Copies of this chain bind each other. A is one copy, B any other.
């Protein structure tokens, strides 16, 4: 739980990018590299615009439109996923393997929880309802480590009226 997270799928993402681009016969552009690199290097779940800001550091010439297009491409290639978030802006994650999420009631941060840190969750059988389940993940609410420190009481009480957005 403290080790650098043996990221199950952490083969250098940029190598994957090259492979996937070749597979699909599409060009491996500097922009695609840069966006993927920016996204893979962070632990949070940035919005498209936050990715844009980050990429600009390395590649000042990139445009916002390209960032959006590249993000779409990366999602299509399976190198990036759009994550489910209650906010009304798209958020992206370079961790494409199955994992869980905690949404902090206080700061609104979405933090990854490695499946290894939780008892295993079995694929539920909903065939009785005609539903075929492919994948399950947990969505937790509570207090992230940082906010838990600053908050008295040992149980997480309830959702804040609205999380401050500054994780």
A25 at the interface (CB under 8 A from B): no
CA distance A154 to B118 in the complex (A): 29
A102 at the interface (CB under 8 A from B): yes
**A132-B154, A134-B158 as given contacts; A126 in contact with B113, CB under 8 Å:** yes
What's the tally of chain A residues with a CB closer than 8 Å to chain B? 54
Residue of B76, B83, B134, B149 near A86 (CB, 8 A) is B83
Across the interface, do A124 and B130 meet the contact criterion of CB distance under 8 Å?
A: no
How far apart are A151's CB and chain B's nearest CB, in angstroms? Answer: 8
Q: Can you list 25 A-B pairs, Cβ within 8 angstroms, ordered by A?
A: A1-B129, A2-B129, A76-B161, A76-B162, A84-B85, A84-B139, A85-B85, A87-B90, A102-B133, A117-B129, A118-B124, A119-B122, A121-B138, A124-B138, A131-B148, A132-B148, A132-B156, A133-B141, A134-B157, A134-B158, A134-B159, A135-B140, A135-B141, A136-B141, A138-B138
A135 CB contacts on chain B under 8 angstroms: 140-142
